[in-house]
Structure 1
Amino acid sequence: MTTESQNPDLIDVIISDHRQVEQIFKELESSPSPEVRKQLTEHVITELVRHSVAEEQHMYPAARRVLDDGDQIVDHELQEHAEAEQVMKDLEGLDAGDPEFQRLLNTLISDIRHHVDDEEKDLLPRLRAACTQEELRDLGAKVVKAKERAPTRPHPSAPDTPPANKILDPGAGLIDRMRDALSGRES
């Protein structure tokens, strides 16, 4: 294996995550079964939380560092993450047959699609231009590793910026994975 295939760069990792989430959204939109929709919703929440945590730990600090308007961009991205995380938290306690479940799910899908579109059209190309390939591969490896230890459930009141998130996220992730195992929820 080449180094590049072993260490995909940040942009490739983020876009791959975006495609995975979009595939789950399409399955959600075509599934009439409430039980399947609930399972898919739990799965997409896990993936979104892990993805967001990794972005907050590594991609956003890099954007703040290398982009002239990085603080403004990252603050906007973090606000979008916070809003989505609250929707995910609200979804957790609802039955898939509840009309509120579908309303919140539609909101989440719409908001995430908007967020992905913004990142792929603006932030990611700008990061590719501003960082060296070595930096992007290093960030990609860090994001992959962060996702492995990240929480699997939304924690809207948890810190979303370093250093607090880098310290607390792995512990929350461990507890979430234990809860997932005990409840039979896939993570």
Structure 2
Amino acid sequence: MSTAMEQDVIDVLRQQHGEIRDLFDLVRTCAPGERREAFERLVRLLAVHETAEEEIVHPAARRTLPGGDGIVADRLEEERSAKELLSELDGMDTGDPQFMPKFDKLRTDVLTHARAEERYEFEKLQAEFSEAERRSLAAAVRAAEAMAPTRPHPGTESATKNMLAGPPMAMMDQVRDMIRNAKKG
């Protein structure tokens, strides 16, 4: 197992895709009383992961890959659609009868998106960037994740929008998270 400093960006993102798949499975299989907590973990990971991709990975792909504009445009449309559904689910009670059908649609959409990223974007990035460049991108992704919002914000699917709006949204999301946690305790 490589350390965080040794990982390249493709390793980091694929590992997160695995964590996302695991959290989708956990939400689907856990007891209804435990579903909210598992879902909140999924929401946070998706929000942070997508923000970092939008700020770091997609711009690099757009600049470097042959056909990069089209590859990135397709991924951003998928991300926007998923953020809208995720935002709707985040406002729902996990016991609502409509929650699981919408959640299953989100799961299908997100996992399809992850496969498309891995096939059309990540493989090409791996071929175009040196190992040192991929490690540098991984460090940039980690830095972006540290400052990313923890909730979905549809309409911020560009690096510029994320960098301008991300820090204030991240602070608001963190306050919201603290309030939610205080209500539980």
Displacement of 1:111 in angstroms is 0.7
Q: Which amino acid aligns with 2:142?
A: V
After superposition, give the CA deviation of every residue in 1:5-59 in whole Å (9 maximum; x if it has no partner): 424211011011111111111212222x222112211110110010000000000
Partner Cα distance (1:5, 1:40) in 2: 25
TM-score after normalising by structure 1: 0.91
8 Å CA contact retained: 1:7, 1:141: no
CA distance in 2 between partners of 1:70 and 1:121 (Å): 13
The runs of 5 or more residues in structure 1 that have no matched partner are none
Amino acid in structure 2 at the alignment position of 1:133: E
Matched with 1:104 is 102
Q: Who is 1:172 aligned against?
A: 169
Q: CA deviation at 1:163?
A: 2.3
The answer for the alignment partner of 2:79 in structure 1 is 81
- The answer to whether the 8 Å contact 1:57/1:161 transfers is yes
Cα distance in 2 between the residues matched to 1:8 and 1:166: 24
Q: Per-residue deviation at 1:103?
A: 1.2
Q: Is the 8 A contact 1:88 1:108 kept in 2?
A: yes
Give the structure 2 partner of residue 10 of structure 1: 9
Superposed displacement of residue 136, structure 1: 0.8
Structure 2: stretches of 5+ with no match in the other structure: none
Amino acid at match of 1:131: F
Q: Return the offset for 1:66.
A: 0.8
Contact 2:147–2:166 (CA<8 Å) still a contact in 1? yes
**Number of residue equivalences:** 182
Q: Distance in 2 between matches of 1:56 and 1:139?
A: 12
Paired with 1:162 and 1:25, the residues of 2 have a C-alpha distance of 26
Instruction: Among all aligned residue pairs of Structure 1 and Structure 2, give the percentage whose two residues are the same amino acid.
Output: 32
Is 1:181 matched with 2:175? no
Any conservation in 2 of the 1:7–1:140 contact (CA below 8 Å)? Answer: no
Q: Secondary structure at the match of 2:159?
A: coil
The change in CA–CA distance for 1:142 and 1:180 in structure 2 (over 3 A counts) is: same
Q: Confirm or deny that 1:156 pairs with 2:160.
A: no
Alignment of 1:29-48 (within 5 A): 29-31=28-30, 33-48=31-46
| Rounded Cα–Cα distance in structure 1 between residues aligned with 2:59 and 2:4 | 24
> Which residue does 1:23 correspond to in 2?
22
Q: Deviations over 1:95-129 (max 9, x none)?
A: 11212111111011111111111122221111000
